[in-house]
Amino acid sequence: MDGIIKRCERLFELNSQDEYDDYAQKQLRKVIYARNENHRNRLTSLEYFINGKEYTSLLDALYHEEYLNKIKIKFLKPVLDGDWNFSKPTREVMEKAGRGLARTFDFDPDSLNRWAAANRVKDDKVMIRAYISDFFVPISIKTKSQYHHAQDIPRMYEPQLKKFRGIWTDARKGVLPLEIRLCAYTPTDRYTYVIDTLKDVQRPHSLHKVPFHYCIDRKPIEYMMFDTVIANIELPPLSKSMFEFIFECGEVTVSDLAHKFEVSNQIAKNNLSALQSKGLVNVRKELYYDVSLVELKKRADKLCQS
């Protein structure tokens, strides 16, 4: 654990020394310990080739490499009985200037032999974007004391869907990426990869318990709109997961959400009301909820222009 903390602290040396005091260090330790206690099981281990150099730690690469020209991520030692729903089995992803290649293979979660096609590797030309889905920005006790309540402290970073070199720049400017979601868009689909930067492993998708047959077909442009919005929007974790569930599955009821997320109907309804108040979901016939593509497009266009 101390090794992980030292890797994090080295990044702060590049840009955030004034804010990283004893108070910020204690907050960092709390965050890292909490993630260590609550993390999902791994799917694969990760290895990186940054500008042609091999790294086993992304945080080390962020510290040593000032600029990102190209990146290759290798997915090693897959957990065959892992929670692979919504995660595309992949051998490697290569990216340069937002374009790249994903070497993937097929996986059938409903088959008795889910990995029967694992030896048939397919090369997909992809457009690659990413966003920091969980992060830590150091705040010194001096800065904190300027606010009467913790909730008054403004959001210290605005995550956005961007090319990986943009993530690189943000991290070297003082934003510690705890988790990165990598999105690879093909002409017909979108693959997502959840990267735990502290342990350098791929984690299961937050919807890994949802069976594939619940999903509806979405166009890549709809996925990109959704990713643009969910990258930036500030919501409690449960509301954000429900928002993604509704997007992937189409129309759902309060009971559907309560069952899938193992919460009461009232909690599900409260979260739906919060999403509805932001215009993110529609209610149909006062029973079914679905994602508002009109609102997604409006928010995505605004974020892309900023």
Both tokens of 138, joined, read 């150091």
pLDDT, tens digit (0-9, with 9 covering 90-100), for 246-278? 999 888 888 888 988 899 999 999 999 999 999
Give the chain's domains with CATH numbers: 1-208 (no CATH), 210-306 (1.10.10.10)
Check whether 116 has a pLDDT greater than 60. Answer: no
pLDDT of residue 200: 96
Residue 114 — pLDDT band, cuts 50, 70, 90? low
- The pTM score is 0.87
Distance CA 40, CA 61 (A): 24
Please name the residues in contact with 299: beta carbons below 8 A apart, sequence gap of 6 or more.
228, 229, 232, 233
pLDDT of residue 283: 82
pLDDT of residue 53: 95
Residue 68 — pLDDT band, cuts 50, 70, 90? very high
Confirm if 127 and 227 have CB atoms less than 8 A apart: no
Which residue in 115, 99, 119 sits closest to 107, CA to CA? 115
Both tokens of 85, joined, read 């729903």
Residue 110 — pLDDT band, cuts 50, 70, 90? low
pLDDT, tens digit (0-9, with 9 covering 90-100), for 3-33? 888 888 898 888 867 888 899 889 999 999 8
Which residue in 272, 273, 275 sits closest to 260, CA to CA? 272
pLDDT of residue 75: 95
